[in-house]
Amino acid sequence: MKEKIHPKYVDCTIMCACGNVIHTRSTKPSINVEICSNCHPFFTGKQKYVDSEKRVDKFLKKYGKKI
């Protein structure tokens, strides 16, 4: 490998807007993010599906299980 062409790899602190702090290593010493895995709706299970054009209802009506 060539000398003096690679960036420095240092300890990094990633801080989320929700207050979560993650320690890792990166080429930047600190990173600020707006959303992380602790507050993202997909990972927390609080995700809501918005069906504004009624496509899901139309699909379920046509192909859904009959109860």
Structure tokens at 43: 């990972």
Task: Provide the percentage of residues in the chain whose pLDDT is more than 90.
Answer: 34
Residue 4 maps to a domain:
no
Residue 34 maps to a domain:
yes
Classify residue 2 by its DSSP letter.
Answer: -
Residue 56 maps to a domain:
yes
Residue 5 maps to a domain:
no
Could you give the CA distance from residue 32 to residue 60 in angstroms, rounded to a whole number?
Answer: 42
Residue 2 maps to a domain:
no
Could you give the CA distance from residue 32 to residue 23 in angstroms, rounded to a whole number?
Answer: 12
pLDDT in tens, 31-65: 999 888 888 777 777 766 666 677 877 888 888 76
pTM of the predicted structure, to 2 decimals: 0.56
Neighbouring-strand partners of residue 15 = 21, 32
- Per the model's pLDDT, the better-predicted residue between 13 and 3 turns out to be 13
CATH number of the domain enclosing 44: 4.10.80.400
Residue 35 maps to a domain:
yes
